[in-house]
Structure 1
Amino acid sequence: MQRSLIRLLALVLLPGAIPALGAQPEAGAKAVPEAVVVLDEVDSESATFRVVRVVSNLEHPWAVDWLPDGRALITERGGSMYLVDGSQSTALSGVPDVWAENQGGLLDVAVSPDYGESGWIYLTHAIREEGKGGTALTRVRLEGATLVDREEIYRQTPLLEPNYHFGSRIAFQEGGTLLVTMGERGQRRERLVEIPTAQTSVGTTVRLGMDGSVPADNPFAGKEGFRPEVFSYGHRNQQGMAIHPQTGAIFQHEHGPHGGDELNLIEPGNNYGWPAYSYGDTYRGQKPIGEKTGPGVTDPVKYWDPSPAFSGMAFYTGDDFPEWKNDLFMGALAHQKILRIELSTDNQVLHQEELLRGELGRIRDVAMGVDGYLYLLTDSPNGALYRLEPLPVPE
C-alpha cells in the first residue's frame, strides 16, 4: 500500500496533453509541472515534429486509451491501472485479479465506442488456475476512482502452462462486435499440432459480441472443426491490431520466433500458418521452421528479419500531419522505434519510414488520442507516455 501511494505521488503529468476537467485534485495528487519536451525537433520525410513527455514513472505500462471527455486510462502489466487528466493521476480500485508473471499481467484497455451509452471499458489480462493460465477479456464500468460491474466475458481455451505469449489486443468493429488476439501461449510447435482445432482458441483471433456472445455470422459458427468464436487462426503472438479507418480492413502484427515478424491482413476464417509454416528460424540453431508458406495459408502483407518485435499499432487519423493521414504506425520493442507504413488501396505496403530509433526506449503501445495527437507508451520500469506535436506548434 505504501509503495503504491509513493508511486501515485510520483507520477508526473504535463499540462495541455490531457485536458483538465476543472475538478480540484484529490488529496495527495501531485501538482502539474511545466511541460517537458524531450526531443525538440525531429525531421521525418514529410513532417517535422517534437516529442513531449505527458506522464512518467509508469512501471511497465502496456496500453492506453481515452474516455470521450479526454481523460486517459493506462494499464501497467503488474496489475495497476490509472485514470489521468490534466490535473492529477488516480490509481483505480476494482481492477481484475491478474497473473502478473513474465509477460502476463494487466494488458490491453479499450473504451467501448458506445461508452456514452453503455459505460463499458474492456480489459485483457492473464489469468491462472490450477497451474495453468491464459488470456481473459473482462469488461468494467468506471464510478469515480473505482471499477464496478466487473464481468469476465471470455477466456482463452484451453489454459496452458507457459507464462508468456498472451496476445491480448482489442479492436472494435462497426455493428457491435469486437476482436481480441489470443497468443499461442509459448507452446512448442509439436504440442500445438496435437490440440484439435475444435478444442482451442490458442493462436487465434476471436470475434465476439460486446457481451461476449458469439456472432451468428462468425466464419465457424454452426460448423464442426473449430470453436465458433474463432475468426482467424494459425497465429503466434499478435501484440498489435488496428482497423483501417476508411475501409475497415483488419491489420495485425505477429511476433515471429527468431525473425519472421509479420504484418497480416486478417480475413474471416483464414489460416496464417503457425505452427506449420513461418518466415522465422528456430531459437536454437537458427534453422528454418519448415517452409515459409503452404497450401491454404494466407501470406503476410510484409515480414521482417531480424525481428523488430512490433507491439501496439494505430492508424493516424489526425489533422496536424496531413501527409500521415491513414498511415499505419507500429511501435517496436527490440528495435526501440516506430515504423510509419504507407498502404495502397489494395492493402499492400507502398513505403515504410523508421522514426525515433533508440530515442525513447521500447515502444509498447501506439494510440490516437481523442485530441487528434499520436501517443507512444514505453515499456520499462520507468515507462512514460509521449505525444508527437507538429512544428511549428499550433496556437
Structure 2
Amino acid sequence: MRIPMVRLLLVGVLTCCAQSSWAGLQFQTEHYRVGIEIVADGLSHPWSIAFLPTGEQLVTERDGRLRLIQEGRLHPDPIAGVPQVAAVGQGGLLDIVLHPEFEQNRWVYLSYSDQTDEGLTTRVMRARFEDHALVDTELLFEALPRASGGRHFGGRMVFDSDGYLYLSVGDRGEMEKAQDGLDHAGSIIRLHDDGRIPEDNPFTGDSSVLDEIYTLGNRNPQGMALHPQTGEVWSNEHGPRGGDEVNRIQAGLNYGWPEVTHGINYSGSRITEHTELPGMESPLLDWTPSIAPSGMVFYTGDEFPSWRGQILNGALRDRLISRVSITELQGEYQLQEEERMLQGFAQRIRDIRQSPEGEIWLLTDQSPGQVVRLRPVTD
C-alpha cells in the first residue's frame, strides 16, 4: 500500500554554521541531539563502506581506489588488485560488500563500471582480501548489452539471509531498457555467491527474460537493505524529476518504470499519464519532489533506540537523511517520512550504514569527501 508523503517535516537545527568540515558539529533531531565525528577525510567521491570483523573499514572511491581505515586513520596506500574501472559520468568503482562468511573465506565483492569499444556497463567481481591486496580475482557478472553514456549504472549490492547476492542495474539513461526482458538494464539481478544463476530465479526458462533478472522496471536503485524481521530485500530508487521510490523487492515483479511513475521529465514534459497500472507494483513510498535517495539502512542498533525498525535514507540532491517509519498489518506495509535531518550541512550523502556497534556512518559524495560517524550527545 502506498502512503502519500508528509510534506511538513522537522528539520535538524545546527549548533554551528561551518559547512567545509563537519568535525565537532551537532544537530538536533526530534529524539536526539547528535554529534558528528570525522573518521576519515580527503577521499575522492567515496561511494560505499564495508565493516571488517577486525574493526577496520574498507571504502571505495569512485575514481577507482579501494581504501582501508585502520584504527581510525586512513591508510596512505590504496589497496592493490582493484580492477580497472571506467570513471565516466556517474560510473566508477561503486559498491563493496563482504561475503556472509568473510571470516572464513576472505571474499570481497565489488561493483564497478567497465568500458570497451562496445560501450559501458556494470560489472561485479570478487576477490580475496589478503595483506592489503585483492587476490584470486573472479568476474561474476556483466550487464548486457552495453550502452553508451555515463548515467544510471545502479551498482548497489546486498546479500540476503540465504546467501544470494542481489545487484541493482540502472536503466543507463535509456528508459525503455527497463521493460526489455532481454536487457539487464533497469532490473534487480539475483545470483549465487559465485555468480551462478539460481534455478529458482523467477524468469529461469522464460525465453523473453534473461535468467539473472529478479525484477523488472527499476529506474536506478541506489540503496538496498534487508528488512530485519522478514529478511526481504528493500530498495530506494531515483525517479526523474519527482517519483523517487522505496520498494519491497519481490521475485518476478515489474516496478513499472517508465510505464508508471510519479515523476516527470527534467524538461517538465510528461513521461506517462499513469501513476499505477494493473500488473505493475506501486512504491511503498515516493518522494515528489525528488530528494535523490542513495544509501539506505534499516536501523537496528542501540545508539538511537527510538529509530529502531525505521529506514534511514541518504540523499544526494537534497543533501539530508530521511527517516521513514514502517507500520505492518497483515502483510501490508505503510511507510511515512517522519523527519529530514542534516539539511543545513550541504553535503551529498552517498551512503549510510550501521556499524556493528550500532553507530550510523555516512559517506559524503564530495572531493574531498569524508567518512562520518554519528553519535548521540548525552552531556
TM-score, structure 1 normalization:
0.86
1:152 corresponds in structure 2 to 139
1:369 aligns with 2:355: yes
What is the CA distance between 1:196 and its match in structure 2?
A: 4.4
1:326 corresponds in structure 2 to 309
Equivalent residues of 1:140, 1:151 under 8 A apart: yes
Partners in 1 of 2:320 and 2:373 — Cα distance?
Answer: 14
Q: Which residue, 188, 193, 197 being the options, matches 1:205?
A: 188
2:325 corresponds in structure 1 to 342
For the residue of structure 1 that corresponds to 2:324, the secondary structure is strand
For the residue of structure 2 that corresponds to 1:323, the secondary structure is helix
1:32 corresponds in structure 2 to none
Deviations 1:236-278 (A, max 9, x none): 1111111111221321111111111111111110000112221
What is the CA distance between 1:130 and its match in structure 2?
A: 1.0
2:58 corresponds in structure 1 to 73
For the residue of structure 2 that corresponds to 1:216, the secondary structure is coil
For the residue of structure 1 that corresponds to 2:156, the secondary structure is strand
Q: Which residue, 75, 91, 95 being the options, matches 1:104?
A: 91
1:13 corresponds in structure 2 to none
Deviations 1:161-182 (A, max 9, x none): 1211000100111122110001
The amino acid across from 1:348 in the alignment is: Q
For the residue of structure 2 that corresponds to 1:160, the secondary structure is coil
Equivalent residues of 1:124, 1:135 under 8 A apart: yes
Equivalent residues of 2:67, 2:79 under 8 A apart: yes
2:111 corresponds in structure 1 to 124
What is the CA distance between 1:287 and its match in structure 2?
A: 2.8
Deviations 1:124-150 (A, max 9, x none): 000111141110001011111111111
The amino acid across from 1:286 in the alignment is: S
For the residue of structure 2 that corresponds to 1:117, the secondary structure is helix
Task: Tell which has more relative contact order, 1 or 2 (C-alpha 8 A, sep 6+).
Answer: 2
1:357 corresponds in structure 2 to 343
What is the CA distance between 1:351 and its match in structure 2?
A: 4.3
Rate the CA distance shift 1:67–1:292 in 2: closer, same or farther, 3 A.
same
1:267 aligns with 2:260: no
What is the CA distance between 1:188 and its match in structure 2?
A: 4.6
Equivalent residues of 2:348, 2:365 under 8 A apart: yes
Identity %: 37
What is the CA distance between 1:119 and its match in structure 2?
A: 0.9
Equivalent residues of 1:162, 1:187 under 8 A apart: no
1:93 aligns with 2:80: yes
Equivalent residues of 1:258, 1:286 under 8 A apart: no
What is the CA distance between 1:39 and its match in structure 2?
A: 4.5
Equivalent residues of 1:340, 1:354 under 8 A apart: yes
What is the CA distance between 1:40 and its match in structure 2?
A: 4.0
Give the length in aligned residue pairs.
354
CA RMSD of aligned residues (A): 1.7
Q: Which residue, 160, 172, 175 being the options, matches 1:173?
A: 160
Equivalent residues of 2:106, 2:130 under 8 A apart: no
For the residue of structure 1 that corresponds to 2:104, the secondary structure is helix
Equivalent residues of 2:64, 2:82 under 8 A apart: yes
What is the CA distance between 1:218 and its match in structure 2?
A: 1.1
TM-score, structure 2 normalization:
0.90
